[in-house]
Amino acid sequence: MKKFLAVLKGDLGRLFIYPSLQVPEDFSIDYDRYWKVRGRSSMSEKGETLSLWQQDRASRAAEFIERNSTVLDLGSGGGAVLEYLREKRNIKPIAVDVSAHALISLRIKGIEALELDIASENDVEKLPEVDYILGFEILEHLPNPEKLIHTLAKKAKKGLIFSFPNTGYYAHRLRLLFGRFPLQWVVHPGEHLRFWTMADVRSWTPQLHLGPKSMVAYQGLPGLNRVWPALFGAGILLVLDTTDNENQRHHSDI
């Protein structure tokens, strides 16, 4: 009950507020600052640690990953997710990031790290084939995530695992009721370009021509997020099956 009340208080406290808009002189969106403010990773000497939210997401993703799988994480940051999966599933981790600081940190931890920009189609084509590809909180930042998914499906032998905010979360609906857009930005309103509810995902995934293996809601209001995940789950974890693509790859090689 204490956790429920804490989450409820936090959600209701954000109904009428806006973050401070921080626009640089060149009007560009600084994603390094975005992730720093959001607290996605802490590049300190103590290393990166997962928040309770991130650990919940990682543990749910781990349920779909077999032991000893090769797993590639897009936008890996300091590699805490891969370290968690290496501990829980004995995976072979591969990290992808554009931050030189992150790449150094990853390699110190013994994680294979690739400097690639997922916004570049040429860079994505250079990704190695692996069992699973993770894309936590990246699709909502892209104008055309379908194109990225199509390319990644050729690289993942077993599956793609994505996460993004649930715009159908009750707190976002309440903001709309009071005339305010759902609050999903921390530095600049242009951070998120795409938005999904669980109903949207059910309509959207068949058009990707990939098998929707699973969709689960996580975080949000404890207890109620299990009874009514579409309304009370704050985040969405989507697992897409790419095994048919793997079969097609084998057939095309014959």
Q: Is residue 38 part of a domain?
A: no
pLDDT of residue 184: 87
Q: How far is 140 from 197, CA to CA, in rounded Å?
A: 12
Q: Is residue 32 part of a domain?
A: no
Q: How far is 101 from 95, CA to CA, in rounded Å?
A: 13
pLDDT of residue 47: 55
Q: How many domains does the chain have?
A: 1
pLDDT of residue 250: 42
pLDDT in tens, 108-124: 999 999 999 988 889 99
pLDDT in tens, 69-97: 999 999 998 899 999 999 999 999 999 99
Q: How far is 158 from 26, CA to CA, in rounded Å?
A: 42
For CA atoms 179, 182, 186, 192, the dihedral sign is negative
Contact 176, 183 (CB under 8 A): no
Q: Is residue 29 part of a domain?
A: no
Query: Which CATH number characterizes residue 84's domain?
Result: 3.40.50.150
Q: Is residue 194 part of a domain?
A: yes
pLDDT truncated to tens, each residue of the chain (254 aa)?
Answer: 899 999 999 999 999 988 887 766 665 655 555 555 555 444 444 456 889 999 999 999 999 999 999 999 999 988 999 999 999 999 999 999 988 888 898 999 999 999 999 888 899 999 999 999 999 999 999 999 999 999 999 999 999 999 999 999 999 999 999 999 998 887 778 889 999 999 999 999 999 988 878 999 999 999 999 999 999 999 999 999 998 765 444 433 32
Q: Is residue 232 part of a domain?
A: yes
pLDDT of residue 105: 87
Tokens encoding 188: 């600049």
Q: How far is 57 from 198, CA to CA, in rounded Å?
A: 16
pLDDT of residue 95: 96
Q: Which of 230, 216, 237 is nearest to 170 (CA)?
A: 230
pLDDT of residue 142: 92
Q: Is residue 164 part of a domain?
A: yes
Q: How far is 193 from 84, CA to CA, in rounded Å?
A: 29
Q: Is residue 42 part of a domain?
A: no
Q: Is residue 26 part of a domain?
A: no
Counting Cα atoms < 13 Å in the Cβ hemisphere of 67 gives 3
Q: Which of 176, 157, 142, 164 is nearest to 218 (CA)?
A: 164
**Residue 147 sits in which domain range?**
2-8+47-253
